[in-house]
Structure formats: C-alpha cells, structure tokens
C-alpha cells in the first residue's frame, strides 16, 4: 500500500473537531441567515451558501477521520482547502463586495483564524502520523 499512512488518533480527533465546527457554523449560517444578515451586515444569500458549503466538507472530514489509512495528499488537500478558506475570508473583507458591521468584521476574522488554526493542527497531525509510520 504505497503512499498510504496510518491515520493517527490525534489526526482523527482534529479532523472530527474540524467537522463539528463546520457543521455548527454551517447550520448557524443557514438557519440564522435572516438574523445574522442584520447583525453582521452581510447578504443573506452569502451567509446561507457559505453555511451550505460547509456541510459536504464536514461529511468528508468525518469520512477521513474514520479511515485507518489515508494518502498523504488527501490530508494535504484538506489543509490547503482550509488555508484557501482563510485567505478568501480576508479577501472578502478587502474586496468591497460587502459592507459588514463591526460584528461582521469580527465574525469573519475570528472564523478565518479558527480555520487557519485547524489547518495548522491538521498539518501537525499529518506530520505526527507520518513520523509514527516511519518508526
């Protein structure tokens, strides 16, 4: 099984934690879009679709966490996806496409840093899994 590594318990828990936050945030954005639109100063459609996009990603993360062996490239892809979400969050604020309230800025920045944190911890989990595999 060339190219596969044993998915460490640490990495599994990180993937599951990422999935749980994706589900919680996704549901909040989809269900609460009407309220959040006013509070955050962001379009309801943007909030709903952002929330909706998190659900399939969460399902993927749960699936990956359940696998004993994974290709390194798959976890690297998750890390890159999280980094792109982070970058896109800041680009959205800088683009002028939306006019968020102070709470809107705080929300987008906080969730961007949270997603970046998951990318960093998933990278650590990947390294930990690869190190364990070579021992």
Residue 69: other Cβ atoms inside 10 A: 12
Q: Buried b vs exposed e over 33-58: b needs ≥16 C-beta within 10 Å?
A: beebbeebbbeeebbbebbeebbebb
Q: What are the residue ranges spanned by the domains of the chain? A: 4-134
> Which of 88, 84, 85, 65 shows the shortest CA–CA distance to 75?
65
Q: Which residues of the chain have pLDDT under 70?
A: 1-2, 133-135
Residue 66 phi, psi dihedral angles, 5° rounding = -85, -10
From CA 8, how far away is CA 120, in angstroms rounded? 16
From CA 116, how far away is CA 82, in angstroms rounded? 6
Supply the mean pLDDT for the chain. Answer: 94
pLDDT at 22: 98
pLDDT at 75: 95
Instruction: Indicate the pTM of the whole model.
Output: 0.91
pLDDT at 133: 59
pLDDT in tens, 25-41: 999 999 999 999 999 99
3-state secondary structure of 71: strand
């Amino acid at each position: 099984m060339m190219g596969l590594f044993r998915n460490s318990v640490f990495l599994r828990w990180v993937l599951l934690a990422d999935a749980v936050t994706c589900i919680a945030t996704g549901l909040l954005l989809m269900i609460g879009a009407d309220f959040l639109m006013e509070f955050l100063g962001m379009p309801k459609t943007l909030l709903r679709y952002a929330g909706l996009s998190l659900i399939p990603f969460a399902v993927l993360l749960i699936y990956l966490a359940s696998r004993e062996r994974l290709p390194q490239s798959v976890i690297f892809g998750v890390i890159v996806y999280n980094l792109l979400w982070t970058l896109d969050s800041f680009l959205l604020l800088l683009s002028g496409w939306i006019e968020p309230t102070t709470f809107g800025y705080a929300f987008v920045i906080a969730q961007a840093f949270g997603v970046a944190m998951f990318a960093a911890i998933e990278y650590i989990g990947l390294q930990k899994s690869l190190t364990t595999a070579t021992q």
